[in-house]
Structure 1
């Protein structure tokens, strides 16, 4: 077995990614490596440790007991390194520095842009760099180290494993968009279940599809998807043209209804939850804390409107 000082942190990170992703291919995608490169790193670590790191488990792989022992100690090292970086950032920068944020489009317009505007006034030396990405992709960018903070959507319980720390920011109400002239466009006491037989418009994959299906399931029906779209302007235009109905988050529909009739659903109260995620160990970094605080302040303002 090699000396501790000879251990390669890159190999340990690769082992952690395989454990979290369940397959070599998925780990390679997260780390932006080829599957063969991931396999080589794992093999090199196994030779160094003197024990196999992976074993077959159905169509996936899992860590051997020796690998879990190594990874348990490596987790302490990773956490300590992240804390060291956080403390160093606080020492060197205080309220200055740079924070890279990955976020989906409506979170950028509804939360991130107002937060950045506040920061430009209060902390002009703090730079926030924005990367637009779908909710799931923002989390993948965070895991790969390409961004420092991700704004995403929570489907199910908040929390994506020990590698991330998540903060709930906003419960964004879901309204229903109806074509003009629809028989229920002006109906009092509109319920989501009243639209069970309507053709629906929503995305083909990702959190928003699941959020739409879950909201309809809570109302007692499964929506029949007639058209597939992900862009909110396109969805609202399709609704306005009479092609179907759609659930739209209030952050996306505010001032953008166009010809569609957007109705609240106070009796059902469907919502989507917007969360901010950071890598575990970085949550104490002063620039990240400051950005999170401003995001939370904007979210409180939006929630109270």
Structure 2
């Protein structure tokens, strides 16, 4: 049968370390604000816990045994590691360290999340951000299941504000611009309105959030768009526009990233269509100064 493992006691290890530093039980007791008898008793107990002698008589004083010196050699590493743990824990409490997993739709990844990762890499290198592309339905399932810590979505496709599981945080109102072929007769027209493009062929997806947004914006402007071509990826949609096959509504977050030279992107000041982007976390995670709250604050500032 194996002998029992030694019982390590950090308080007693500190007393042993202090004795090594100060040289005598009396000086150690004064430094630690303890009675000399208490110092001796604690070290005797520690020797029993470790199963080795730590002190030996040396005239009228005591000195450390070889076992005590061996213990102290490891104690330096123990206390150094504890100092690092203290620093890491303090950073975690401040929100400057830890892991935060983000689920976001594709355009938000490019326009919001990547700049966030770049900025926090400099400001809080102890924070580790994990990014997962996910549309709204999947993102909220992941958030509810604890597989991501923060979800980005369009407000129209997020759970209701009455959902007790999540806290929703508005980030931005992303303007919807119109993408036209550069040779379009209205490419340079002042005060362009959606209604001016009612007779044009339109390009958008067969279904999904962006199809709903395009139809709703056009119907609010007084017409139903004629869908000439179907595409869901922004590079594909803008390539079709550049080939003079139609026009399309494009979020400003997208147009800043993907617009080719054959396409003109015009704001719609009169109609001012927008899509609202929000972040959501599990309820309560936005409070305090933890890593999720830290990332959420940085995301809001960047947005």
Q: Using structure 2 for the length normalisation, give the TM-score.
A: 0.65
Out of 269, 281, 285, which is 2:284 matched to? 281
1:73-92 paired onto structure 2 within 5 Å: none
Q: Among 282, 289, 295, which residue is 1:291 paired with?
A: 295
Structure 1: distance between partners of 2:230 and 2:140: 23
Checking the alignment, whether the CA contact within 8 Å between 1:104 and 1:134 is kept in structure 2 is: yes
* 1:190 equivalent in structure 2: 192
State whether residues 136 and 206 of structure 1, in contact with CA within 8 Å, keep that contact through their aligned partners in structure 2.
no
TM alignment of 1:124-203, pairs within 5 A: 124-155=125-156, 159=161, 161-203=163-205
Post-superposition offset of 1:139 = 2.3
2: CA distance between counterparts of 1:241 and 1:225? 16
Q: Does 1:208 align with 2:210?
A: yes
CA distance in 2, matches of 1:242, 1:160: 45
Matches of 1:106 and 1:91 in 2, distance apart?
34
Q: Distance in 1 between matches of 2:225 and 2:145?
A: 35
Counterpart-to-counterpart distance in 2, 1:242 and 1:125: 49
**Cα distance in structure 2, aligned partners of 1:156 and 1:131:** 18
Return the index of the structure with the highest Cα Rg: 2
Q: Secondary structure at the match of 2:109?
A: helix
Match of 2:19 in 1: none
1:281 shift after superposition: 3.1
Match among 256, 261, 265 for residue 262 of structure 1: 265
C-alpha displacement of 1:255: 4.7
Contact 1:169 1:275 in 2 (8 A): yes
Displacement over 3 Å in runs of 4+: none
Tell me how far apart the structure 1 counterparts of residues 92 and 259 of structure 2 sit (CA, whole Å).
Answer: 43
TM-score (norm 1): 0.64
SS at match of 1:297: helix
Rate the CA distance shift 1:166–1:115 in 2: closer, same or farther, 3 A: same
For 1:183 and 1:266, locate their aligned partners in 2 and report how far apart those are by CA, in whole Å.
Answer: 19
> CA–CA distance in 1 between the matches of 2:232 and 2:136?
12
Using the alignment, how far apart are the partners of 1:136 and 1:225 within structure 2?
Answer: 26
Aligned residues of 1:155 and 1:211 also touching (Cα < 8 A): no
Q: Of residues 231, 241, 263 in structure 2, which corresponds to 1:239? A: 241
For residue 119 of structure 1, report the CA deviation from its aligned partner: 1.2
State the SS of the aligned residue for 1:111: helix
Gap regions ≥5 residues in structure 1: 1-89, 300-305
Which residue of 2 is the match for residue 228 of structure 1?
230
8 A contact 1:165–1:278 mirrored in 2: yes
C-alpha distance 165-122 of structure 1, shift in aligned 2 (>3 A): same
Q: CA deviation at 1:172?
A: 0.7
Instruction: Give the RMSD, CA atoms, in angstroms.
Output: 2.2
Which string of whole-angstrom CA distances, capped at 9 and with x for unpartnered residues, describes residues 177-202 of structure 1? 01221111111111001111221111
8 Å CA contact 1:135, 1:207 repeated in 2 = no
- CA change 1:107–1:162 in 2 (3 A) is same
* 3-state SS of paired residue (1:222): coil
- The match for 2:123 is 122
User: Per-residue displacement from partner, 1:73-120 (whole Å, max 9, x unpaired)?
Assistant: xxxxxxxxxxxxxxxxx8893221111001112111111111112211
Local SS of the residue matching 2:277? strand
Q: Is the 8 A contact 2:201 2:245 kept in 1?
A: yes
**Displacement of 1:160:** 6.4
Q: Find the residue that maps to 1:113 and give its secondary structure.
A: helix
CA contact 1:103–1:130 (8 Å) conserved in 2? yes
Query: Structure 2 regions of 5+ residues with no counterpart?
Result: 1-88
Distance 2:110 2:213 in 1: 20
